[in-house]
Amino acid sequence: MKRRIVIGTRKSALALTQTNQIVRLLQDLSIENGLDYEFSTKNMVTQGDIILDVTLSKVGGKGLFVKEIEQALFDGEIDLAVHSLKDMPAQLLEGLTIGAVPKRVDPRDCLITKNNLKLADLPYGARIGTSSLRRVSQIKAFRSDFQLESIRGNIDTRIKKLESEGFDAIVLASAGLFRMGWEDRISEYLEPTICLPAVGQGALGIECRANDLEILALLDLLNDPRSALTVKAERSFLKRLNGGCQVPIGAYAVLEQLDNQEQGLIRLTGMVGSPDGDIILKETMTGIEPIELGVMLGELLISQGADRILDQMGS
């Protein structure tokens, strides 16, 4: 009998677009591999979609976008869920796992401005909208005169607020604009040297039950090993720091292929900063084992005072 696979997703335009792309990929992979599945989607509302008038750092952080979906997965109402990995906490519910990380798209943040200005060319005291403390910290470190203000909502909502609420610029993840086909709105891509991305930014995480071997086998066809490896290092770093949206933490890993070696070298850069941008701790380490590398980099930043910044943010 044909198995019906139910995929859970948030109801935002971006979430639905991402999920529909994954559904099409799974349908194609199923046909190519002689599998007989029927796919359907279940739209869900999370607390992160409901609470839009408060910054994420004040209402619980990353878990707000996944809690209800994870519970539905745990309860068997859905079989898998499509998440933006940057919205996923480092620690998943027991019994759940990330079954696949499809090929990652551009992880960089980007700037959208009224007159297509670059970050360095914005006027003194420019008002910049973002919902991320990570971006606030790094952009304030780049130019302390900028006025960073909270802006929430879906991508299209935030772009409209650029005009309606008098912002000079807003900062978004370029991946979302890419997936929506709105790349032409981007005024500038912010290089990681200026604004290190969020952990997992640009990647999707396909979550499922850890004991559903049939789904895990299907998702393995969708998994991109390079993306999964680098994201695993970033998430290990986040887990070691026990961080979320409440603290300015960023990380980005790349896989460097070495000559005459089958296994590549992971180069992981991580940062922890104070919300005012006065303190930015940033280091890069390389290694082969992603989880170990993330832990080591986290401990290096802790030895430099990251724990004190995190404790202050948590108090």
Active-site residues, by number, are 87
Which position has the token pair 């209800």?
68
Given a contact cutoff of 8 angstroms between Cβ atoms, the answer to whether 300 and 285 are in contact is: yes
Given a contact cutoff of 8 angstroms between Cβ atoms, the answer to whether 85 and 106 are in contact is: no
Q: How far apart are CA 185 and CA 191, in angstroms?
A: 17
- What is the DSSP code (8-state) at residue 166? T
Pairing of strands 3-10, 80-84: parallel
Residues 6+ apart with CB under 8 A from 252: 107, 192, 196, 197, 201, 234, 268, 269
Can you read off the two tokens belonging to residue 199? 């952990």
Q: Say which amino acid occupies 233.
A: A
Give the strands of the sheet with 169-173, arranged side by side.
Answer: 147-149, 127-129, 169-173, 109-113, 188-190
Q: How far apart are CA 123 and CA 272, in angstroms?
A: 27
Q: How far apart are CA 292 and CA 255, in angstroms?
A: 15
